[in-house]
Structure 1
Amino acid sequence: MNDHPPSHLISLIRQRSRNHSSQTAIRFSENHQWQSMNWQQLGEKIDCVSRCLLKDNLPIQSNIGIWSQNLPEWTIADLGILQTRCVTVPIYPTNTAEQARYIIEDAGISVLFVGEQEQFDGALKLLDTCECLKKVIVFDSRTDLKNCSQALYFSDFMASAPAESNILTERLENQSLDDLYTLIYTSGTTGQPKGVMLDYNSIGASFESHDLLIHIDHTDVSIAFLPLSHIFERAWSYYVLTRGAVNCYLKDPTRIAEVLPALKPTVVCAVPRFYEKIYTGVNTMIQKSSPVKRFIFKTAMKVGRTTMELKRQGKTVPAYLESLNQLADKRVFSKIKEKLGGRIRFMPCG
C-alpha cells in the first residue's frame, strides 16, 4: 500500500470535472431515451447544489438525507452535500415512513432529498412529527407536492442558487480526510438501526486498494443498478467516476437484463443473487436442450475452467488448450457474453 494519504473524493471529482470537461460522465434514461451528461455539466450541477445548501448556513458536518431510488440527481445531490463538508445520510427507497422517521430523528436531519411520489408522501407525514426536519426537496417534477410549504422541486431548488459562494470556497479549501462523508444505517434486524460512520480516509483507502487489483479508465462503462443507498454501489460508482468511466443510472433494478444489450457495460458490480439468476437461467436452458448440446456445454465449461485456473496461477496455457478455449468461447461463452452486452471485462461481487 502507498504511504501517501488517499486523495480526497471531492478533490478527485473536481479534478475530473476541470480536466476532462467534455468527456461523458453519466448516462440516464429520460422519456425512454438514454441521455448523457458531460463532466462540465455534472460539475456545474454539483456546485449549484452546494451553493443552494449553504444559503441556509448549514454548519460543517450537518447531516442531510437522501431517500430515493437510483437517479442521476442522487449523485448530484450527494456530491453537492459533500462539497459543503456536510454528511450524507442515505435512506433505502423502499423504507417505510416509520423506518425513515427513526433515521431522520436519530441523525437530526433538517434537509431531505426524496425521489418520487412514494418517498415524498412518506416525508410529508414526517414533517409534522420530526421536529428537526425543515425542508424536503423532490427530484421528480411530476410529484404532487400537495401544497406543502416546506417542499420544493429539485429544479426550483437549483434555480435559486446564488452565482457564487465564499463559504463554499472556504469549505473546499479546508476539507479534511478526517471529515465524515456518510452515515449509513444498518437494516435494524438486530434491534434499532445503527449509523455506521465513514470518513474520507476510508473511501480513499478503498480506491487505492482497488487500483492495486484492477484498472478502470474513460473507455469503461458501468451501470449503477444496485441501490445507491447501500455503500457497495455508491462507493463503486464513485470509484468508476473518479477513474473516468461513464456511470449509467438505472432506476428500476428489475430492468437490468433489458438494458445490458443497449448500454454495453464493461464493468458492473453486483450481488451473488444476480449471478445465481444468470447461472440458473443458463442451466435451465441447457437441461432443455439436446444431449449433443449438453455435451458441448459441459466440455466448454471444463476447458474454460482449466484455462482460467492456469491464467489465475500465472502459468502458460498450452497452445492446444488455448485453441480449445477459443472454440468454446465462439460456440458457447460468446452467447452468454452477448446477453451481458458483449463488452464485459469483469464484474465485481459483494
Structure 2
Amino acid sequence: MLYIPIMPLLHVSVRGTMRDMTSTALANAIESFTHTRGYLAAATMGLPPRAAVTALAEELQRWSAAESEPMDYGDIVERTRAHYAKLVGVNASRVAIGSQTSVLASVIACSLPAGSEVVCVTSDFTSIVFPFLQQQGLTVRSVPLAELAEAVSDTTNLVVFSLIQSCNGAVADVEAITRAAARHGARTLCDVTQAAGVHPVDASRFDATVCHAYKWLCAPRGVAFLTISEDFAEHITPVQAGWYAGEDIWCSVYGPDMTLATDARQFDVSPAWQAWVGAEHSIELFANIDIAEVWEHSIRLGNMLCDALGIEQQDRAIVTWPDESGADLVKLEAAGITASGRAGRLRAAFHLWNTDDDVAAVIAALRA
C-alpha cells in the first residue's frame, strides 16, 4: 500500500478548463465519449465513442432484420484501413488487417530462418513474445527495456518490443533501438497497442508493427493491424492466407488457384464484420486529432498524480506504483474508480477524457 503524504487536493472546474487548454478538435473528441468519470483503464480496454455505439446498434438491427450483406463490409474495412494508415504515418497499401496481435506476430515468427536470433524485452506483453518462443530453431533473448539497444548485435536478426510497456507504461527509446538495429542489420517489430491513440506513432520507422485497437483506440475487440515495409514483406510468407488476402477478394473464395494481393493485403485476415463497423468511427476520431496533444494532456495528469502521491514523476500516460496486496486497487474500486493491477503494481491510465478531478478522486480514495 502506498503512503500518501498529506497535502491539499487540487479541485478545478474541469470541463471548462479542458476546453481552454485544448484545441477545438481535441475538445470535440473528448465530448464524443460518455461515462468517463473515474475511468483510468484505457490500458486495459478503451471506451467507445457515441458514434461507434450508434453504428454498432444500427448494424445489429440491420443484421437481425436480414438486411446485412457481407459485401457491404468491404468498404467499411477499407475506410478504417485508411484512417489507421493516416494515424501511424504510412500508406494504406502497407497496412494489413487482422483480429489479434499474436496472430499477426506469428506470421513474422513463422518466416524467420532457422537459427535466427530474436531479442525481446523482459516482461513485455506475451502476445509478441510467445509466437517467437513457439518456433523451434529460433534463439530468443530477453533483456530489460533500458538495455535493448545495447543488446542488439551482429548475430541479431529481429528486435521485438512494445513502444509502451503494458505493465508499467515505460516508453521505449525508439531512436536508440532503431539506430542499433540499422547498425547491425537487424529488423524491427514494434507492438504499438499501448501507444496508438495516446502517443504519436510513426510506423514507417520500423520494419513491421502490430496493434490491437481495443485499448487506446477505443475500438471493439477483434480489430487489429499489421504494418509492414515493402522490403520486409518480401521475406515474410502469408501463412494464414485466406480468401480475404486475395487480389480480388470475392474471386478468391474457392481454390485451388491462388492469386494473393501484391501489397500488405496479402497478410489480411477475414474481418469480424460487426467489430469493424464500430472501429471505423473510433479510429477515424483518433486519425483526425493531434495525438501529441493527447500525449501531453495525459502525461500532465499522470505527473499531477505522481506529485500528489509523493513519488517521482514518470512522464507517462500510465502511472504505476507498488500494490502487491491489491489494497489500493480495492480502495479505488470502492470509490467507483476503474483502474487495474499488473505485476504487483497499481496501474492508472490517463487518456484524453480524463481530467484533474480524476486525479483528485484517486487521492481522496487512497486517503479514505
**TM norm structure 2:** 0.30
Pick the structure with more helix per residue.
Answer: 1
Q: Which has the higher contact order (CA 8 A, sep 6+)?
A: 2
